[in-house]
Amino acid sequence: MALSEDEVRDLAVYAHIALEPDELIEMTAYLNDAIQVIEPIERYLDEDISPMFHPTGALANVMREDIVDAERALDLDDALENAGAFRDRMFRVPSILGEGGES
């Protein structure tokens, strides 16, 4: 199953990647090489086998109690002393969610 330049161009547009004409040719060849590497795996596909979503099965998060280590903990006033900005004894950082969020 080889990809055409039109299909690669459509993928690039969908992914918001600008490709020059020579880059489009190179990317088409690169993706077709990748497909050739993966194609032999298809012969092992079996409809009777359900997909595995995680290679180690059903894992659960292992959490520890959130206990303050008094020996290693930095005093809050010392931590805030070097902060660029703080409010209500908390660090203030720039919003990463865009406009409208309060930082």
The predicted model scores a pTM of 0.45
For range 49-69, the mean pLDDT: 78
Q: In whole angstroms, what is the distance from residue 10 CA to residue 28 CA? A: 11
Q: How confident is the model at residue 102 (pLDDT cuts 50, 70, 90)?
A: low
Residue 94 pLDDT: 87
The mean pLDDT of 50-59, rounded to a whole number, is 71
Alpha-carbon span 12 to 4, nearest angstrom: 12
Minimum mean pLDDT range among 47-51, 54-58, 69-73, 83-87: 54-58
Residue 63 pLDDT exceeds 80: yes
Domain limits, the chain? 5-44
- Which of the four pLDDT bands, split at 50, 70 and 90, describes residue 87? very high
Is 28 a residue whose pLDDT tops 60?
A: yes
Residue 101 has pLDDT above 60, yes or no: no
